[in-house]
């Protein structure tokens, strides 16, 4: 197929467009801004599938009630180092933003702290959230569950979602030494959706159809199941995330959650779980030296790549010059904004 036409946009322009569309669809100013900022950051990170392409889905869900644009947010400190947030079936982003404002000082005071979020929704690029904790000097771990799209190895019934996890290690200079952000499946479901929109076949090994057979048809894949990364080990990662982001957070299990696409069902009410660690306390001040050694041992090998360096380079490019964004997606979001 011919390459899609693109238009040059800055991060600020992407954020403004997403903000206007979300507010026009029924999100409060604060909620729309929080989600729009994350959407723009996804493009800057080179993860465009989680940016403007998702905004029409967010708008549809605002209008049909799957996500509440004016949700009431509640955050409680349950124990000295434990925060629990109820997103009220609104967007995850405002709950994460507000939770982090309390989580950061708490982790620095206590040495380690956690934030559990329930009755939430898609949080976009998980690694963007853990990166923000690393930029404030904390080792961060993040988990988010999703509506079921993956069957156990040997089975055909969906039990858990693609269930990403992320780890961000601070470099002490406002960035991250290492940023791991990956789903428990071979590929994120949003990437399958991108292939379906373009009508392109999938690479082999990404998905199974409804009968559990390998498929390269993105529509069959969306009706079927995702393939766990690393077989049963990847499914084990998905279970770990499900235990933390859903069970431990008091959120809805992926098998019971309504999908993040389409108008069917009520609010997904899924969850997130974040752990923030003051690594100067736990390492006795030796963390940065050890992390630098680890990064050097990887980066000095020809062809090797340190997790997160691609996104860091993409952010630098986005800060210096406009990004190319699919024209069709821009026009679709602009219609919602106007």
Which residues form the catalytic set? 49-50, 191
Coil, strand or helix: which one is 92? helix
Calculate the alpha carbon distances from 135 to 107, 130, 203, 290, 292 in Å: 14, 9, 35, 18, 16
The answer to whether 236 and 152 have CB atoms below 8 angstroms apart is no
Copy the structure tokens of residue 222: 């969306």
Give the gyration radius of the chain's Cα atoms: 19
Q: Which residue, 38, 123, 135, 41, is CA-closest to 87?
A: 123
Residues linked to residue 233 through DSSP beta bridges, in sequence order: none
- Report the length, in residues, of the chain: 338
The answer to whether 57 and 260 have CB atoms below 8 angstroms apart is yes
CA distance 56 to 66: 13
CA distance 58 to 24: 11
Would you say the C-alpha torsion 327, 332, 335, 338 has a positive or negative sign?
negative
């Amino acid at each position: 197929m011919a390459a899609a036409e693109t238009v040059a946009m800055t991060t600020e322009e992407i954020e403004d467009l997403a903000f206007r569309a979300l507010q026009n669809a029924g999100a409060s100013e604060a909620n729309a801004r929080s989600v729009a900022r994350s959407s723009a950051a996804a493009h800057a990170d080179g993860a465009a599938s989680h940016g403007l392409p998702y905004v029409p889905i967010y708008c549809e869900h605002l209008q049909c009630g799957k996500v509440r644009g004016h949700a009431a947010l509640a955050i409680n400190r349950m124990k000295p180092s434990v925060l629990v947030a109820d997103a009220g079936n609104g967007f995850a982003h405002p709950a994460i933003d507000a939770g982090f404002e309390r989580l950061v000082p708490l982790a620095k005071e206590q040495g380690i702290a956690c934030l559990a979020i329930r009755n939430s929704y898609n949080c976009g690029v998980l690694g963007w959230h853990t990166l923000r904790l690393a930029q404030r000097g904390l080792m961060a771990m993040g988990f988010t569950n999703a509506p079921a799209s993956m069957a156990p190895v040997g089975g055909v019934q969906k039990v858990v979602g693609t269930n990403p996890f992320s780890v961000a290690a601070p470099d002490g200079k406002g960035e991250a030494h290492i940023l791991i952000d990956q789903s428990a499946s071979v590929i994120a479901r949003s990437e399958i959706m991108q292939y379906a929109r373009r009508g392109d076949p999938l690479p082999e090994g990404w998905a199974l159809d409804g009968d559990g057979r390998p498929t390269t048809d993105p529509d069959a894949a969306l009706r079927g199941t995702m393939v766990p990364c690393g077989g049963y080990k990847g499914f084990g990662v998905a279970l770990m995330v499900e235990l933390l982001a859903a069970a431990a957070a008091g959120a809805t299990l992926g098998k019971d959650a309504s999908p993040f696409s389409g108008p069917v069902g009520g609010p997904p009410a899924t969850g997130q779980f974040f752990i923030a660690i003051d690594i100067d306390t736990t390492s006795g001040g030796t963390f940065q030296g050890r992390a630098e050694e680890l990064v050097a041992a990887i980066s000095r090998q020809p062809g090797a790549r340190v997790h997160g360096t691609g996104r860091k380079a993409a952010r630098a490019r986005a800060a210096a010059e406009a990004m190319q964004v699919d024209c069709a997606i821009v026009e679709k979001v602009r219609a919602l904004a106007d």
